[in-house]
Amino acid sequence: MLWPGTPSDPVQIVDVRDLAYFTIGKLLQDSQAVSATEVDAIWMDEQFLTANGLAGGRDLPVWHGATDAMDVSADRALAAGFQNRPERETARDLLTWWDTLPEERRAKPKAGMTAEKETEVIAAWKAHIA
């Protein structure tokens, strides 16, 4: 499964119930734990993803590339009393919500790449690093 950047890249997820600060690697771990799904994560650098026509926010919904927007301190919000719910709760609730959608809606996600595109880019990445 294609994952952008590196496992330690910062990412900020907005849960409608609160705001959370994660690293993308922790998001992958928590998502796998909640869904009981193991994937072989293939981390690809931003330059390669861009060269292969993939864009953060569109093809990779959680990731937005190397922008300062993903590395903003939450210290002031935390000092004011803000609390993050556990990452796994957010992931679990997202999957629970997704399963309530009609099958025809789940068959056509509004973001993300197709399985065919992912397979194509993974093959190109493996050739690139060989």
Question: Any idea what DSSP says for residue 91?
Answer: H
For residue 129, name the pLDDT band (cuts at 50, 70, 90): very high
3-state helix/strand/coil string of 20-34: EEEEHHHHHHHHHHH
Where does 2-129 sit in CATH, by number?
Answer: 3.90.25
Provide the whole-model pTM: 0.67
Domain boundaries, the chain: 2-129
When pLDDT is cut at 50, 70 and 90, the band that residue 62 belongs to is confident
Least confident span in 14-18, 34-38, 42-46, 121-125:
14-18
**Would the pLDDT of 121 be above 70?**
yes
Q: What is the pLDDT of residues 63-118, one digit of tens each?
A: 777 665 556 777 888 888 888 888 889 889 989 999 999 999 999 888 888 889 99
What distance in Å separates the CA atoms of residue 130 and residue 119, rounded to the nearest whole number?
Answer: 17
